């Protein structure tokens, strides 16, 4: 069921008191889970195994192409045009076609699935949480209700969180766009996460690495918005958005 903002939540940019926070919702990829590193390890490992890496001027060029294709096809998944599996097949076809692989556009679903599975073996072997994720969740858990709001497939994210040892902390409230039917930054998916925690938006903090999707989306839904800028880019933020460079800093921010 989709939830719509009520008066005083959507676009609420006034001062909110962090002392009201009783729950914390997290993004997963590149927030709790080091997605980018596993993606890089998976792609480069698979291309080396396939003898394809030498076709690129550099590993960075291969990764840039893969991510460009991924962003386009994943956007189609988030709009409902493709299923989670089919966006994987389309990513495979487009990537290999850019590479000049003969017949790539006409790969069957079975062939595309097999190629993507090879990438997945290398990627999954590199799955890991950020070093600050588990300690932070362990310290938050006794005092706050915890959960996840993610633009992804719920089964995939649940398996990922279980593998990296974080599901025990956030698994009871796991709201993903495939089940909810609408992705971030739509206010309703954040409100669905709040409802899962049994809390009002002003009682919930949200932490994510994407500024527009996560920080602005959470703020505009009436939550306490925390942008996780691990690169410490120095990018200025808008009104009502807190910046973190590590998850450890969240503990200090909430305590203050």
Spatial separation of the C-alpha atoms in residues 228 and 211, rounded to whole Å: 8
pLDDT in the model for residue 15: 57
Instruction: Please say whether the beta carbons of 31 and 25 come within 8 A.
Output: no
pLDDT in the model for residue 14: 52
Q: Is the dihedral of CA 32, 37, 40, 46 positive or negative?
A: negative
Spatial separation of the C-alpha atoms in residues 205 and 24, rounded to whole Å: 5
> For the chain, which residues make up each domain, given as ranges?
18-34+128-255, 35-125
pLDDT in the model for residue 103: 81
Q: Is 113 helix (H, G, I), strand (E, B) or coil?
A: helix
By mean pLDDT, which of 15-19, 43-47, 84-88, 144-148 is the weakest? 15-19
* Mean local confidence (pLDDT), 235-242: 92
pLDDT in the model for residue 37: 98
* Mean local confidence (pLDDT), 124-149: 98
Of all residues in the chain, the percent with pLDDT exceeding 70 is: 94
* Mean local confidence (pLDDT), 91-99: 94
* pLDDT value at 235 more than 50: yes
| Cβ within 8 Å of residue 219, ≥6 positions away | 12, 13, 225, 238, 240, 241
Spatial separation of the C-alpha atoms in residues 206 and 196, rounded to whole Å: 14
Looking at domain 35-125, which of 1.20.120, 1.10.10, 1.10.150, 1.10.3470 is its CATH number? 1.10.150
* pLDDT value at 96 more than 90: yes
Give the strands of the sheet with 23-26, arranged side by side. Answer: 174-176, 145-150, 23-26, 204-208, 224-228, 241-244
* Mean local confidence (pLDDT), 182-209: 97
Looking at domain 18-34+128-255, which of 3.40.50.300, 3.40.50.1000, 1.10.3720.10, 3.30.70.1140 is its CATH number? 3.40.50.1000
* Mean local confidence (pLDDT), 190-198: 98
pLDDT in the model for residue 102: 76
* pLDDT value at 2 more than 60: no
* Mean local confidence (pLDDT), 145-160: 98
* Mean local confidence (pLDDT), 240-255: 94
pLDDT in the model for residue 45: 98
pLDDT in the model for residue 178: 93
* Mean local confidence (pLDDT), 155-165: 98
Distance from CA of residue 66 to its chain's centroid? 17
Spatial separation of the C-alpha atoms in residues 132 and 228, rounded to whole Å: 12
Spatial separation of the C-alpha atoms in residues 15 and 66, rounded to whole Å: 41
Spatial separation of the C-alpha atoms in residues 135 and 32, rounded to whole Å: 11
* Mean local confidence (pLDDT), 1-25: 63
Task: Compute the chain's Rg from CA coordinates.
Answer: 19
Work out the mean pLDDT of the chain and round it to a whole number. 93
pLDDT in tens, 38-89: 999 999 999 999 999 999 999 999 999 999 999 999 999 999 999 999 999 9
């Amino acid at each position: 069921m989709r939830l719509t903002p009520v008066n005083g939540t959507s676009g609420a940019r006034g001062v909110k008191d962090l002392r009201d926070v009783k729950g914390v919702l997290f993004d997963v990829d590149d927030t709790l889970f080091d997605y980018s590193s596993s993606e890089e390890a998976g792609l480069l490992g698979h291309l080396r195994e396939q003898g394809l890496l030498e076709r690129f001027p550099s590993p960075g060029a291969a990764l840039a192409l893969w991510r460009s294709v991924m962003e386009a096809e994943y956007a189609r998944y988030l709009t409902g045009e493709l299923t989670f599996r089919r966006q994987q097949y389309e990513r495979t076809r487009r990537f290999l076609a850019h590479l000049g692989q003969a017949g790539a556009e006409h790969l069957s679903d079975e062939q595309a699935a097999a190629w993507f599975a090879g990438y997945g073996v290398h990627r999954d072997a590199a799955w890991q949480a950020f070093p600050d994720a588990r300690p932070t969740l362990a310290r938050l858990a006794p005092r706050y209700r915890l959960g996840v709001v993610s633009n992804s497939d719920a089964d995939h994210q649940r398996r990922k969180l279980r593998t990296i040892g974080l599901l025990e902390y956030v698994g009871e409230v796991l709201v993903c766009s495939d089940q909810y039917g609408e992705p971030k930054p739509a206010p309703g998916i954040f409100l669905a996460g709040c409802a899962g925690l049994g809390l009002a938006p002003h009682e919930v903090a949200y932490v994510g690495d994407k500024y527009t999707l996560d920080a602005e989306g959470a703020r505009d839904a009436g939550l306490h918005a925390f942008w996780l800028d691990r690169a410490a880019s120095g990018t200025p933020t808008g009104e009502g958005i807190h910046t973190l460079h590590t998850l450890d800093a969240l503990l200090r921010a909430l305590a203050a």
